Amino acid sequence: MRVMAIDYGDQRIGLAVSDALRMLCGDAFTLHEWDMARAAGRIAEEVRARNVDTLVLGLPRNMDGSEGPRAEKTRVFAGLLREATGLDPVLWDERRSSIEAHAILHANGRKRKDHRKTVDAVAATLLLEGYLARAGA
């Protein structure tokens, strides 16, 4: 069984799926969907197709640890995922994941204007790596 990490956004959703041994990121991609319910349905299809049994959903927090409107929206999305997949998403602190993803892309020579194409998938990969490292510890 695999783990899927989700970096939820209003327009783009980064997804990263572990390998079968739950040690590495096996695949990462971006889903383009603005409707929450449709996004949850499309993720449910990926969950079934990829044999996923654990969902890790990035929870945006402020730097002081408090939660704002984005965190509330993410919690609503977690409920939709629960209904669509039957899995209870693990809410994972995603502070700085997008900043780190942009830094990784920049360090690898990607132009800033091209970051939008892949930054969400990279952020999801960072979430997945963090979760897998904690789970393996």
C-alpha 133/C-alpha 119 separation (Å) is: 21
Confidence at residue 36, expressed as pLDDT on a 0 to 100 scale: 95
C-alpha 55/C-alpha 57 separation (Å) is: 6
User: Tokens 């956004």 appear where?
Assistant: 9
Residues of the chain with pLDDT under 70: 95-119, 136-137
Token pair belonging to 11: 């327009």
Confidence at residue 137, expressed as pLDDT on a 0 to 100 scale: 42
C-alpha 20/C-alpha 62 separation (Å) is: 33
How many structural domains is the chain composed of?
1
CATH (domain of 21): 3.30.420.140
Confidence at residue 94, expressed as pLDDT on a 0 to 100 scale: 76
**What distances in angstroms separate CA 35 from CA 95, 114, 130, 132, one per listed residue?**
24, 24, 27, 29
Predicted model pTM = 0.84
Confidence at residue 115, expressed as pLDDT on a 0 to 100 scale: 45
Structural domain boundaries enclosing 34: 2-136
SS3 state of residue 21: coil
Q: What is the DSSP letter of 86?
A: S
